[in-house]
Every structure is written in C-alpha cells, then in structure tokens.
C-alpha cells in the first residue's frame, strides 16, 4: 500500500492563494455600476453645471484670457520727467530749480508747496526745542551736561535757560542755533502750483517678444510745446498739470499742498499682439499712496540746508519742505499672437 503524500504546509497554501488573487486582479476587468435616476429637474441641473464649466473654459479661459497663449508681465521701463512753471511766496519768486527735488528728472520726485524756514543758523549755544522729550526744565539740575538726545538738536551743556518765547525754560544745547522750532517762518508756494506742467516720458520693452513702444507722439513739429494730455484727443501727449493729477487722485489741492503727500502716477501697458500695434496704448491713473487717514504716517516733508558765510562765519538756512511727491509706477503685460511670429520692427511706435 502506497504511502499518502505529505500535506503541504499551511503557509505554502496561503502563498498560492495570494498569487492567484494577484494574477486575477491583474487580468480581470472591473467597471462600476451605473444607476440611472429618471428625474427631469436633477438632469437639467446636472447638464447646466456641465455647460457652465464648458463655457468657463472655452469663453473665459481661452477667448477672454487667452490662456493658451504665452504672455509676459513686468516690462523693462525707462522714465524721464520734467516739470515747468514758476510760483511766488510772500517774499520771492520760485522757479523749477528751487522747488523740484531732486532735479535729475527721475521716476520719483517732489514738488515743494510749503516751507518752514529757519534763517541765520550758526554753530553756538541756545535753548533746545520745547518739542523734544525731556527738554523742559526748571533748574540746571534738570539738565545733564554732555547728554545727547538722538531726536534733539545738539549736545546739552547742563544749563537751564529761558525759551525763545513765553515763560518756559529748556535745557541749553550746543549745535546749530537758533533751533528750528524757535525761529522758523512758514511760506506757502502752492498758489500757482496747480498750473505746473509735468512731462512723463516713458518707454517700455518686453524682451521675450522683442516688443517696444513709447508714450510720446512721433511728430517733428512743436506739438509737445502746445499740448496737454487727453485720453481721447491727445493720448500721446504725456504732459499733465499738477492740479489735474491731484484732482484725478481725488484729493483737495490746498490741503495736500499744506501737509504734503505722495501720489502714484500709474502707467499700464496691457497689449494684445493679435491687434495692431497702434492699439497698444498706455493707460494712466493716479491715486494717493500715503495713508491720509492715519495722522502719524500721512503727509510728506523733508529737510535740507543752504550754507553760506557772513563775515567769515559759516551760516546756514534750514528749510523744512512740505510737498507733493510723485511716484511714477509702470506695469503691464503683453499677449502675443497665437501662432504668428513677432516681428520686432513692426511694433515700434
């Protein structure tokens, strides 16, 4: 009688079942069950959602946004500015060389509209400004000799002296005297400032598509000497009156000229190369950039001094200038034609 074959170990049987399962999963084809719900309202909603998704991609993404095309944002840009006009304060006539800072004609410049002048400052000893923290005193013991306040106007001598006016006393300092708050005189330059003209010359270049254009009319006559900007009749005469810029920014000119402020002159070049290059036109907008509703950070002012000698003594006039700062900001994007090759020379203005 033949002996019965030995039974396979339980582990080997489990391995064979696992192998058969793996091969079955590899070769078998599965499909989910579909349940048809016969409900007209639900069917209409389902098809409407599909239609909206299709319209979004076909109409908005491809037709409006032209997302199938390549694009380029952030053009290379050059800005040159020039201000013209004269104005007068109570004591003198001011020309461009005096009220425009800096004079180089860059993309950021300031037009001075009010000044507080402290004349005839010389190096010496005088009362500290009453506006400086801890400057008020009653006796010499309140003033520490050699102390230097970073927000003050000089080095303290240790003496408590009468202020420039009134009955108060402040610590004496060694520095440029008299200090600003003790002898400053305010002068308003903004009377004629709304009529100042500002030329903003801008050229842009999109290197990816070799597309270049400028915002000046290519005319050889004296057109630029007699035109001002109009978005319909004179879009390529980028000469703006300061009053027009402030008005477009929604500001009151007198208030802005008194406290100062920052206005952004924004030039947007959004060009579609499917159209003629003549359709690629700059769009201008203006808005206030400094937070005028936050008193601590609204307004704009800066200081500078003019030095000279009187009888061999170095003297200076300190000027705290309030003005309207113009920041020219250029941005945009270009959408090239779908399949045609861009010809650089055909797009220059």
Angle (CA) 268-207-57 rounded to 5° is 65
Q: Does the annotation flag 45 for ligand binding? A: no
Q: Distance (Å, rounded) from C-alpha 238 to C-alpha 282?
A: 10
Q: Distance (Å, rounded) from C-alpha 92 to C-alpha 126?
A: 29
Q: Does the annotation flag 83 for ligand binding? A: yes
Q: Does the annotation flag 303 for ligand binding? A: yes
Q: Distance (Å, rounded) from C-alpha 109 to C-alpha 245?
A: 14
Q: Does the annotation flag 320 for ligand binding? A: yes
Q: How many CB atoms lie within 10 A of CB 197?
A: 15
Q: Distance (Å, rounded) from C-alpha 215 to C-alpha 204?
A: 9
- Reading the block at residue 21, the tokens are 């399962």
DSSP 176-243: EES-HHHH-EEEE-TTSGGG-EEEEEEEEEETTTTEEEESS---SSSHHHH---BTTTBTT--EEEHH
Q: Distance (Å, rounded) from C-alpha 69 to C-alpha 209?
A: 12
Q: Does the annotation flag 301 for ligand binding? A: yes
347 contact partners, CB below 8 Å, separation of at least 6: 210, 211, 212, 213, 273, 277, 280
CA dist list (Å): 343 to 107, 119, 212, 340: 30, 61, 11, 9
Q: Distance (Å, rounded) from C-alpha 322 to C-alpha 204?
A: 32
The alpha carbon of 117 is separated from its chain's Cα centroid by a whole number of angstroms, namely 30
Q: Does the annotation flag 20 for ligand binding? A: no
If you ran DSSP here, which 8-state letter would residue 347 be given? G
Q: Does the annotation flag 294 for ligand binding? A: no
Residues tagged in the binding site annotation: 82-84, 197, 301-303, 320
Binding-site residues for ATP = 82-84, 197, 301-303, 320
């Amino acid at each position: 009688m033949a002996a019965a074959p030995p039974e396979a170990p339980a582990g080997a049987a489990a391995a064979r079942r696992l192998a058969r399962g793996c091969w079955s999963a590899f070769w078998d084809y599965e499909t989910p069950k579909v349940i048809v719900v016969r409900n007209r309202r639900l069917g209409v909603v389902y098809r409407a959602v599909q239609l909206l998704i299709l319209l979004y991609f076909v109409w908005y993404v491809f037709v409006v946004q032209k997302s199938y095309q390549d694009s380029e944002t952030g053009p290379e840009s050059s800005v040159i500015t020039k201000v013209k006009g004269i104005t007068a304060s109570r004591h003198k006539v001011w020309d461009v060389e005096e009220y425009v800072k800096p004079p180089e004609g860059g993309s950021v410049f300031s037009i001075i509209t009010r000044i507080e002048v402290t004349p005839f400052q010389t190096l010496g000893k005088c009362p500290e400004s009453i506006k400086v923290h801890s400057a008020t005193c009653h006796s010499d013991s309140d003033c520490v000799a050699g102390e230097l306040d970073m927000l003050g106007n000089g080095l303290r001598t240790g003496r408590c002296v009468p202020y420039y006016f009134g009955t108060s006393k402040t610590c004496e300092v060694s520095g440029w005297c008299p200090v600003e708050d003790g002898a400053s005189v305010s002068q308003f330059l903004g009377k004629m400032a709304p009529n100042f003209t500002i030329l903003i010359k801008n050229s842009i270049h999109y290197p990816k598509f070799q597309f270049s254009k400028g915002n000046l009319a290519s005319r050889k006559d004296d057109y630029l000497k007699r035109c001002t900007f109009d978005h319909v009749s004179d879009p390529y005469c980028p000469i703006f009156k300061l009053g027009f810029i402030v008005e477009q920014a929604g500001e009151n000119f007198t208030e802005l000229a008194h406290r100062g402020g920052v206005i952004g002159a924004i030039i947007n070049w959004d060009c579609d190369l499917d159209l003629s290059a003549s359709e690629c036109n700059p769009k201008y907008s203006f808005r206030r950039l400094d937070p005028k509703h936050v008193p601590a950070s609204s307004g704009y002012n800066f200081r500078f001094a003019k030095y000279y000698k009187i009888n061999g003594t170095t003297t200076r006039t300190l000027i705290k200038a309030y003005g309207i700062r113009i920041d020219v900001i250029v941005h945009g994007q270009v959408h090239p034609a779908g399949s045609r090759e861009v010809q650089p020379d055909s797009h220059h203005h």
